[in-house]
Structure formats: structure tokens, C-alpha cells
Amino acid sequence: MFYAMWFEGQSLWNTPLLACLICIAVLYVVLVLSFTKIKLHQKQPLLFFLSLSIMYVIFGSPFETISHLSYSLHMLQMSILYFIIPPLFLLGIPDSFLQQIRHLSIFVRVSKFLLPPIVTLYAFGALFLMYHFPVVLTTLSQNSFVHNGYLFVLFVLSFRMWGPIASPDSKKYGSKAQNKRYLFLSGLVLMPACLLFILTAFIGGMNNPLLIQLTANLCISPSQLSSLNILPSPFNTRLDQLFAGILMLGMHKFGLTLTVRLGKKMNRGNVVGIVD
């Protein structure tokens, strides 16, 4: 079943997404070469291209469908989408380029409508927690357009949420003490969603609406679902939800550590200027 879904057309490579990401990469190359002295083999462009590549792997490859088979795989996908891709993407944008476009009228107008990072953090935490309530996830899984729209809103918020952490000039977001407090709050705000999975695993577990929806599309009846060995047994038990909660906590911590360390390394080696 697992390999049939992978190779026999139930999970296809997303060509439109690939085309969109290639366009973003080409635009990035043009802007970087035109407005900065950065070479494409340097660290920042590589981080930017890495974020686009990871984006395609988790949402444009067959893994997008495979991730619906268990909570832990789905939470791995969500964790990478919100805790790994945004900081890598932001770290890949040269600060010298940002300094130039900040003075453009369209950028000034758009920035007026942006929520403060701390407000965005709380909004993301609330929506992320709601997403993991069984009734909400079940409702969203019944309509792919609404489901994808909800995930897209979270994705947009995640960029603003990671701004103070991934910014090469963290001082513009506040003092060093304020930035440390923001780091602490980012972990605290996201913890309820992770604890929800861990608690439900001990209480008795809950059905996976994404798996139910997937098997419905494959014309598999509920009575057949329990007899399918789609993944190894740990993925089909309470351990799956327990592991999903722990995985989210670990991935967020990993994202924070990775972003802070990469940011410090780039600041120490920042010799990039603006093209005259």
C-alpha cells in the first residue's frame, strides 16, 4: 500500500509549485546580482535556495500525500514548514538589499498593515493550537481549499513571527534582553499545541481525519482501514500521537538553535556591501 501510493499515481510531483519556486529563485538571482555584491555560491543564497528546495520536497513531492498516513509524519511536515523554511528563507535575504527596498513607497505602505511580531506570534500560536483540535482538523480536512487556505495563513504568519530571530539586525526589533524574551515566548506559545498531542495519547488517542479522508479518496471502507498495514505499528497507535507532540517540540527547538547560530556566523563574516 505504501509503495503503491508512492509510485502508482496517488501521489504526484507538483509541477505548478515547482514552476512557481523556480520563478522565485530566478527573481532572487536577478535582484541579488543587481543590488548586492553577494556571489551565488556564498552562504546566504545557498540558504535561500535550500529553503525553496525543502519547500518542494515536503509539499511538491509524494511526501505531501504520505504525510497524511500518520500524525507524526504530518507534524514533521508542519514543523518543517513553519519552523525550518521561514528562518532559512529570511536568512537568505541580504540585509543590504532590504535596506534599499525599505524606502520604496510600496514597501512603506505594505509595512503599515503588518502586525507587530509579538502579536503575530500570539496569533500564530492560537491558530496553530486550534488546528490540532480534532473537531477543527476534521472540519478542515473535508474541504481541501479551506484546509490549504488555513495552512497558508499560518505560513504567512510564520515569516513575520521569525523576523526578530532571523533578522541580521536584531537591534531594530528591541534590546538584547527583549530578543531573549521573545525567544522564550516563541517556545512557550507553541507548547500548548504540542502538549495537546501528548495528553491525548495518554487519555486514549484520537482518529486521524487526514488518513480517513485519504482512504476515502482511495475507496477504502472504514472496516478495511484497521486491517491495513500502511506503516509500521508504532505509527498506528497512541505512540504516534505521543511522538508527534515530542517531534514538534524538538523541531521548534532545533529551528531556534539553527537560526540563532547561522545568524551569528553570518554577522561575523558579513562583508557584503551595496552596489553603487
pLDDT score at 164: 87
Render pLDDT for 105-131 as a digit per residue (tens, 0 to 9).
Answer: 777 777 777 888 899 999 999 999 998
pLDDT score at 35: 80
Render pLDDT for 156-175 as a digit per residue (tens, 0 to 9).
Answer: 999 999 988 887 555 555 56
% residues pLDDT > 90 (the chain): 28
Cα distance between residue 238 and residue 242, in whole Å: 6
